[in-house]
């Protein structure tokens, strides 16, 4: 079994490691040891981490297997991924494998402050707390990307692609300035995009070649989620990808487990912690029926809800219909739904005008990676009066008296209003992340997009079976020959979809 056999999508040049740090680089940030909410939470965080380790057999197995050889020793690694107790175990695994790690969260509401404090207490630089502003969030990302000596990372673990985006946006700005002698006009009105544009200009004024200095050091990134992978695919198609990228999301042991089974349990956890509402009998509209939407629909159905699905893809729509769900357009059910959940990874799924047409006391939430699935900015700028019931639980009252509840300000409801997916299912995702990092560090591959080979995907699954007291049937040599596979696998072709 060789990690080097990873599948790729393109052919370009081999990435070389160059050390570009040193005297000619202006410091772009004041290096801080950490930024967390409350260090006194560290003991609680350590208790939770210790308990969660027992629920993450795949990740702990890889730690035990590789800790003696330290295959990541000498590599600087930046993480931009929800700072939870499960992520803490990923961080400590990467450290045990030798990496020099710096970390930020990938969402302003998803950090578990006790987990962040526990990691900071070990001396690992972590920059994350629940309730960051957008400016603080991107400053934290920049801190995580900046090592002593003003060096950048060699390796990236990304979730949603924000760390990757910041590097590419900064690099693009430097190219524009070097060619034209000034900055491009800022045309966006999106608040978060404005923060990014201001930040990369601030960095440029401190060091006009910062991103060009650090990019040659970057071997590659492993990307956790659907939206981040979509960004990488677009970059590759546009020939703009600056370093190798590993598609963790499309591994079966990620998308078919984290996205489906994780959401099946964590969606309702977030909704009920925020609202304490009874689910049984309610009409729930699930926008999207991919792996995330499937898990959400199953969850709502199990609580006795009447589930309606909206879909653009005829295959997914047919799947939903054959599972017994109503398949309708959103416009036709705005007045029926008690709860609306967006799961698509697209933008403007629920508009301000849609919200105006919903029934009184409807609950609106999102479980896709970014907050633009719901037009939250338009809602905040509208004639509706906003009241915070408690953090990440807001009530909007329109002039006619109608009230709508919005969870987690339109960001990930399962992480904003609860603690995200359970540890066991995150073990499958994060085992893939470790395998991707080992591949990148060992092979220093060409600049293109890679997928996990089937044999490693199966190995990740195999590592988790014993924990669930599951016994695997073994093919005889004669049976394996009959269907044309090795008795040890892989058992399916790459195009098999599970």
Residues classed as catalytic: 82, 105, 110, 159, 224, 249, 254, 258-259, 263, 369, 421, 429, 433
Provide the token pair at 28: 């772009």
Cα Rg of the chain (Å, integer): 23
* Residue 408 DSSP code: G
| Beta strand ranges found along 178-325 (DSSP E) | 220-223, 244-247, 283-287, 306-310
| Beta strand ranges found along 259-319 (DSSP E) | 283-287, 306-310
Q: What string of DSSP letters covers 180-196?
A: HSSPPP-----HHHHHH
Distance in angstroms between the alpha carbons of the first and the last residue of the chain: 22
Q: Give the dihedral sign, CA 11/12/14/15.
A: negative
CA distance 223 to 81: 10
Burial class for 144, CB neighbours closer than 10 Å (0-12, 13-18, 19+):
buried
* Residue that the structure tokens 């609106």 belong to: 364
CA distance 456 to 462: 10
Provide the token pair at 463: 């590592």
Burial class for 342, CB neighbours closer than 10 Å (0-12, 13-18, 19+):
buried
CA distance 128 to 111: 6
Three-state DSSP class for 335? coil
Provide the token pair at 204: 């440029």
For helices 291-302 and 314-322, give the axis angle rounded to 10 degrees: 20
Is omega for the bond preceding 38 within 30 degrees of 0, making it cis? no
The CA distances from residue 464 to 320, 449, 474, in Å, are 29, 27, 17
Work out the number of other CB atoms within 10 angstroms of the CB of residue 185: 5
* Residue that the structure tokens 């994350």 belong to: 128
């Amino acid at each position: 079994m060789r990690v080097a056999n990873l599948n790729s999508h393109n052919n370009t040049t081999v990435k070389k490691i160059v050390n570009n740090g040193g005297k000619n680089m202006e410091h772009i940030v004041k290096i801080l040891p950490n930024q967390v909410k409350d260090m006194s939470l560290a003991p609680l965080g350590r208790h939770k981490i210790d308990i969660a380790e027992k629920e993450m057999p795949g990740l702990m197995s890889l730690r035990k297997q590789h800790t003696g050889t330290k295959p990541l020793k000498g590599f600087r690694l930046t993480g931009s991924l929800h700072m939870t107790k499960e992520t803490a175990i990923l961080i400590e695994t990467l450290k045990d494998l030798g990496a020099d790690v710096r970390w930020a969260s990938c969402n302003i509401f998803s950090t578990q402050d006790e987990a962040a404090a526990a990691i900071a207490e070990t001396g690992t630089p972590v920059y994350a707390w629940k309730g960051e502003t957008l400016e603080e969030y991107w400053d934290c990302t920049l801190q995580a990307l900046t090592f002593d000596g003003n060096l950048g990372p060699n390796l990236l673990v990304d979730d949603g692609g924000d760390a990757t985006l910041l590097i590419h946006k900064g690099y693009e700005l430097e190219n524009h300035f070097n060619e034209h002698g000034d900055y491009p006009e800022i045309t966006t009105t999106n608040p978060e995009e404005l923060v990014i544009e201001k930040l990369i200009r601030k960095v440029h004024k401190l060091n006009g070649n910062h991103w060009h200095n650090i990019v040659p050091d970057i071997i590659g990134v492993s990307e956790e989620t659907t939206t981040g992978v979509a960004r990488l695919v677009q970059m590759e198609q546009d020939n703009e990808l600056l370093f190798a990228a590993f598609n963790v999301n499309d591994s079966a042991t990620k998308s078919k487990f984290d996205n489906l089974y994780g959401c099946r349990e964590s969606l309702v956890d977030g909704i009920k912690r925020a609202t304490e509402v009874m689910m049984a009998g309610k009409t729930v509209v699930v926008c999207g029926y991919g792996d995330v939407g499937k898990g959400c629909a199953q969850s709502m159905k199990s609580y006795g809800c009447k589930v309606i699905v909206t879909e653009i893809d005829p295959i997914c729509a047919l799947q939903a219909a054959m599972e017994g769900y109503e398949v309708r357009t959103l416009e036709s059910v705005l007045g029926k739904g008690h709860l609306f959940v967006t799961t698509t990874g697209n933008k403007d799924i629920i508009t301000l005008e849609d919200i105006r047409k919903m029934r009184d006391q409807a609950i609106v939430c999102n479980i896709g990676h970014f907050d633009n699935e719901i037009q939250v900015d338009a809602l905040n700028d509208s004639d509706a009066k906003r009241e915070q019931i408690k953090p990440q639980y807001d009530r909007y009252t329109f002039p006619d008296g109608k009230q709508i509840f919005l969870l987690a300000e339109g960001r990930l409801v399962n992480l904003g209003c609860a603690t995200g997916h359970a540890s066991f299912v995150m073990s499958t995702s994060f085992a893939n992340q470790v395998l991707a990092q080992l591949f990148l560090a060992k092979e220093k591959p060409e600049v293109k997009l890679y997928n996990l080979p089937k044999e490693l995907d199966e190995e990740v699954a195999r590592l988790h079976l014993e924990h669930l007291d599951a016994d695997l049937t073994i093919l005889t040599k004669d049976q394996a020959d009959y269907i044309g596979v090795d008795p040890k696998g892989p058992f399916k072709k790459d195009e098999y979809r599970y």
